[in-house]
Structure 1
Amino acid sequence: MGDLPTARVTVSRPFLRTGVDYFGPIYVRPAPRRPVVKAYVAIFICMCTKAVHLELATDLSTDKFLQALRRFVSRRDRCAEMFPDNGTNFVEALNKLQDFLKLLRNSKHHDIVSKELAEEGIQWYFNPPSAPHFGGLWEAAVRSAKTHLLKVVGENPVSPEDMTTLLAQVEACLNSRPLTPMSDDPNDLQPLTPAHSLVGESLQALPEPNLEDLPTNRLNHWQLMQRKLQDFWRRWRREFLCQQQGRAKRWKPAVPIGIGQLVIIQDDNQPPMRWKMGRIIQVHPGGDGTIRVVTLKTVSGTLMRPVEKICILPFADNTELQDATADSHQS
């Protein structure tokens, strides 16, 4: 593992440096007796404080993303840097994400968004393709919100107002998670949470009766939405607590990576008995000198991949490999 990026360890106000991603779809009904439509959730997470902000996007268009961005900036202030996911980590075979992939790969979308952000003084940074772990901070937030929210909501459509309310309450749950102790005082039982950087103290929910044991057919509309929130809280809390129980890992020396090596490129869409091969033509070492991204030459052109997405075949001569890599670093 590499060192944390600069945006993660630089002290700043909340959401000055922000990661952004989408998840979904969720289903909403704009009005009674209207057809159900797909909607998505834009998730913004502060790189420094880990605070989360959720916005509903009724479709996957550039205009809706810019509207969600405007609402986010209006509530959380303008950020200086944004780190979106590249989007190519999604598997194209998943029909639910086809529209999302088209949006992310649309050059016109990138041009419009980049122009809008440039006018606001916001710098836009992309991760390398097929490297979701480079955005581990917001990927973890996406998992926390998406996995259980989609299970709780399911494919039952709700109104946009109900979904906006539910997302705001889910956002409050995520921002209430403990990060670290406030002090070394044994009598101080208050943990530091992302909400402390937003409102100065931990968030407090309005008291609601426990509805988990009541049949859903006995609940009115508001109680049904609160039941969904309580189900989300129960599921997510258990997962969060399990994640805090870290386990040690046995480390091994890194495999030498250099120019000229033949590799197998991991591709989930390859048909049986087909292997996507590539040759390393350029390495991209990080600030600590460790190579985590490489440029590959394939039959269809060149592409960048993280080293986790390649399988290195045995190299004939380690001396030639080291000399080629050293020449690349010098150049």
Structure 2
Amino acid sequence: MALRGTPKEIFSDNGTNFRATEKAVREELKKIEYDKITIKFDGIKWQFNPPGAPHMGGAWERLVRTTKGVLKNICTSYSFNDEGLRNALMEAQFIINSRPLTFQRWVKEYALVLTRRTKWFEKAPPITIGIIVVVVDELLPRNLWLKGRVTDAMMASDGQVRRVTIKTQHGAIERPATKVAVLDVVLENGN
């Protein structure tokens, strides 16, 4: 709450620990004099999933799993002191919030789907000038992969683009089409 402000709603499963916390917070608020603190916390509405329906929290449970995965990669022993945990959580927050919003895991699944060769199954539409892409670079962390706009596409005799020039924040670069992931985004001007 110190970073993002007071939430209007809190969603959680129907666990006894969450029910007890909600009850304890409400009881403690009654003991505090009616001032800014009470007003700040009293407006929060706590929403519980129905009993026996843990699947209804799938979205946030998936984010918890993603956070745990990032934390495990940062420190496999999970041996954190207070300051280390705070820093690790901020790093996890940065990594998670830097990924494109998608249901697939970015590096292990999504990037592979974008760059896989589909010529054996179906013809992929050629990369065209003006589309937004991510430059796949296995040597960099996923949140540091360059994004840019295709400014030139060199087509082979079979009609497939084999090489592209991309305008990035660091200037123009040339890459093979196999190392470019087309982002499924629509810009305001319709491109």
TM over 0.5: no
TM-score between the two structures when normalised by the length of structure 2 = 0.43
TM-score between the two structures when normalised by the length of structure 1 = 0.26
